Structure 1
Amino acid sequence: MLDIQQIPVLNDNYIYLIHDPESQETAVVDPALAEPVLDVLKQKNWQLNYILNTHHHGDHIGGNLALKKKTQCKIVGSATDQQRIPGIDISLSEGDIFKLGNYEFQVISCSGHTIGHIAFYQPEAKALFCGDTLFAIGCGRLFEGSAEQMLQSLKKFSSLPLDTKVYCAHEYTAANAQFALSVEPENTNLLKAVERIKQLRENNLPTVPTTLEQEQTTNPFLRTDSPDIQQTLAMQGASELAVFTELRLRKNRF
């Protein structure tokens, strides 16, 4: 099975190293910085073969060129973002397959946070590397895309198996949970999650990966059809898009 190593960097970023023990191939997802990645590669005695970029923001591509220079790895990213991802070698689009050793990763287009954002899904490992599209109990800000694009992207993720692990790129969960409580205060699954998150963070432990099952029961951005959320927003019977748009606007101001 794939060996996935989580590397916390900066204030709240996560970098992920993915290693196939059989082929000995290794990829890194969204390396904000090079040095922490090189440190773990050295500890594990792994050779870096690929960088997988979900989108072009600096805290996801900052280590690209230094890692490429040091390891001669290939940089993989969205075909839409070829001009914005430094050092890109392999351009991918919706429906393409990326192979790491014996494992095939499905490329999912998920614009919203940015135009051209992609995610990497590996079915056997039940792993989704989704950058800044879906967070634990939240979703990314709409810097470039529309609410409609983000909603459609989240629906793509929601169609994956519920036991899929969601490897998002930031530790935003505690703040996200407080917003979720403001729009669905009586959600018992959310109240339990808040206690779990509090314990994890008090012990300096990560709250991610999460699972799609957990997100379906706690994440307001996946729960636009919730009568309680719609009532809080005074939007009973409104469309999913209208509810999602209002949720995202409120989160921006929260």
Structure 2
Amino acid sequence: MAQPEIHQFPCLKDNYGVLVHDAEGDVTLSIDAPDAAAVKRALEERGWRLTHILATHHHADHTAGIPALKAETHCLVIGPRDEAARIPGLDQAVGEPDTLSLGTLTVKVLDTPGHTIGHVTYWLDGAKVAFVGDTLFAMGCGRILEGTAEMMWTSLRKIADLPRDTLLYCGHEYTVANGKFGVSIEPENGRLQERLLDAETVRAQGEATLPTRVDLELETNVFLRADTRALRDRVGLPAAPAWKVFADLRERKNRF
């Protein structure tokens, strides 16, 4: 399988849109559709024809562009089975362990609920890339809006267990804010401090801090480190299950 071309672009306030183009299979996927005009511009710039939209979850800042794009391109809309009634224009509902064959691409569907009750991640293992929506962010994670902390922890661990060289495309540019919170929790983590400085420099230049990688998140994302002794001790829960440590960290981030 040839490596697909991936084009990430900013849209709305702090969202990212992503196009995945498989020239050999003549397909172009839009991961979510935050804004129809932004997706259309990106397609025109690349000279690509939209064939599929893969929705990670139902929130409007990820799905608002679907109706207009579908009406214009007649693309196939794929999204999470457990949110099927909330995804506009949905043609195919999916969930774990479904596998999609799109052109020459093989896309594995992972259930990653927590932020929303039916959130999914799309993993192209052959291309070493995953599209994680609002479950995981660079040095952070999504708010728990519909699921539970235990559910979200399980979803994060599922992403963390992907091969360490897997690139992770996230839905938003929150890296600097997440890094500042992380340093407040784990100030002795030199790699985290270094990454925050790098992120601040990149953002000052108007560039994206994404995608990230699994190995980098394991080193610098305090939410993924909730099962470590250092984090357990830091929040005063030395004997608690990891998901409770995670829940405490998520509440601290909500107040940060």
Shared fold (TM-score, shorter chain, > 0.5): yes
Q: Which runs of 5+ in 1 are unaligned?
A: none
Which structure 1 residue ranges, 4+ long, deviate > 3 Å from structure 2?
none
Structure 1 window deviating more from structure 2 (16-25 vs 222-231): it is: 222-231
CA distance in 2, matches of 1:10, 1:44: 20
CA drift at 1:190: 0.3
Q: Secondary structure at the match of 1:76?
A: strand
CA distance in 2, matches of 1:205, 1:191: 19
Aligned to 1:196: 198
Match of 2:36 among 31, 34, 37: 34
CA distance in 2, matches of 1:40, 1:183: 38
Q: How does 1:30-109 map to 2 (within 5 A)?
A: 30-109=32-111
Q: How does 1:1-254 map to 2 (within 5 A)?
A: 1-254=3-256
Structure 1 window deviating more from structure 2 (88-97 vs 223-232): it is: 223-232
State the TM-score, normalizing by the size of structure 2: 0.97
Superposed CA RMSD? 0.9
CA distance in 2, matches of 1:4, 1:207: 15
CA distance in 1, matches of 2:229, 2:180: 19
- The 8 Å contact of residues 24 and 46 in structure 1, kept in 2 or not, is answered as no
Q: Secondary structure at the match of 2:123?
A: strand
CA distance in 2, matches of 1:141, 1:40: 29
- The 8 Å contact of residues 150 and 244 in structure 2, kept in 1 or not, is answered as no
Q: Secondary structure at the match of 1:112?
A: coil
Structure 1 window deviating more from structure 2 (138-147 vs 233-242): it is: 233-242
CA drift at 1:238: 2.2
CA drift at 1:195: 1.4
Q: Secondary structure at the match of 1:6?
A: strand
Structure 1 window deviating more from structure 2 (180-189 vs 35-44): it is: 35-44
Count of residues paired in the alignment: 254
CA drift at 1:143: 0.4
CA distance in 1, matches of 2:52, 2:8: 16
Q: Secondary structure at the match of 1:249?
A: helix
Q: Secondary structure at the match of 2:126?
A: coil
Letter aligned with residue 133 of structure 2: G
CA drift at 1:230: 2.1
- The 8 Å contact of residues 26 and 100 in structure 1, kept in 2 or not, is answered as no
Q: Which runs of 5+ in 2 are unaligned?
A: none
Q: Secondary structure at the match of 1:160?
A: coil
